[in-house]
Amino acid sequence: MWLSLPEDASQSWFSIEPLTYLYPYKTIQGKIVEALAPYSSIAESYSKVAGKSVEPLTKEYLEEQSEVPEQNVALLKNAIELWKTATKTTDAIAPILSHYSWHCFNSFFVYTFFKWKPQHSKSHGIIVKLDDELSEIKIRISRSGLFQRLVDTWTIIGASLAFSRFLPIVKNHTVEFIPNEGYLPGESDELSPEKLMRFKPEEYEKSLYATHRKDLLSCSSFMANSVSLPNTCFRSYLLLFIASSIARYRPVLWKTILSGRGELESSFALDSSEALLNYTLGRHRGQGLIDQVTRILKTIEEGQFVLRKSVDQKPIEHSSR
């Protein structure tokens, strides 16, 4: 099942692969600096509300930290190489390599858009509590680490995530962040495989629009969808993280999952393998994570990155005004 992806799944990398060369990457990162500069107050507002330091990149920072572009290019190269290797191995270890490919891609995305303190995260930001029974496994979302930085990045650029404690909304044509009443991990910050599999991003989107339609950001110019699609990718990434941990530390349990021993095991095997589609091709072609990131970067490259209010499509106030 893990190796039955369409042969052209690897083609998802084609449009972003030019950024594995330093000059094209530095060019697009320079345009990211220009595109996000007018919205610097959004990152500042989020940092105050969330109690952390997230800052837009600047030309001065990139000149002083000349190793940053090289590190990010290396992360993208690693993501691609790990993916290619994963497609050539067995189901027994494929999720381990696939997870680390996605982990590297997430790192590439996070560090391409913002600068952080400290500069590098010190952990995955996800703690897995393993057991010999799938039903007893839990993951805990940390308030620091790479996963949280990933949540921060998508939230600041306008995605409404069930995995974020804060929602970006528009008040008087400026972006504010309010507590997310639909925060999926809840007060315990814990998730089980069953809870993740029950979570339906489309239903979350309907609920969110029912309560905040007039206040939501419109990201249609650079995201195919700013609610259900990114939430689908986050859900898939966490399922793959669990699968990777089981395959690495509980290989016997992983074998029973692959055999579909019971209803839960079968569902988890199917959902965690579908996660790879959401990473690459998407359930519907062109809606995978790689395509979404490529679309954002292309919009920035073309100078079309604009944040608007959903209800009337008016551009929000730039921080420079």
* Residue 147 burial (CB count, 10 A): 24
Query: What digits encode the pLDDT tens for the residues 214-269?
Result: 888 878 777 777 888 999 999 999 999 999 999 999 999 999 999 998 999 999 99
Q: Is 274 a member of any domain?
A: yes
Look at residue 111 and tell me whether its pLDDT is greater than 90.
yes
**Domains identified in the chain, total number:** 1
Domain of 220, in residue numbers? 7-309
Identify any residues that bridge with 127 across adjacent strands, giving them in sequence order.
140
d(CA 204, CA 212): 12
| DSSP per position, 187-225 | TTTEE-HHHHHH--HHHHHHHHHHHHTTTBEE-TTT-S-
Q: Is 315 a member of any domain?
A: no
Q: Is 2 a member of any domain?
A: no
Q: Is 318 a member of any domain?
A: no
Lowest mean pLDDT among 12-16, 109-113, 147-151, 310-314: 310-314
Q: Is 188 a member of any domain?
A: yes
Look at residue 318 and tell me whether its pLDDT is greater than 70.
no
* In 176-318, alpha helices (H): 193-198, 201-212, 228-249, 251-259, 263-279, 289-301
d(CA 57, CA 157): 14
Helix or strand or coil: residue 176? strand
Q: Is 72 a member of any domain?
A: yes
d(CA 92, CA 282): 23
The arithmetic mean of pLDDT across residues 288-316, rounded, is 86
What are the backbone angles phi and psi of residue 55, rounded to the nearest 5°? -125, 140
Q: Is 169 a member of any domain?
A: yes
Query: What digits encode the pLDDT tens for the residues 263-291?
Result: 999 999 999 989 988 998 777 666 789 99
Helix or strand or coil: residue 107? helix
Q: Is 1 a member of any domain?
A: no
Indicate the residue type of 134: L
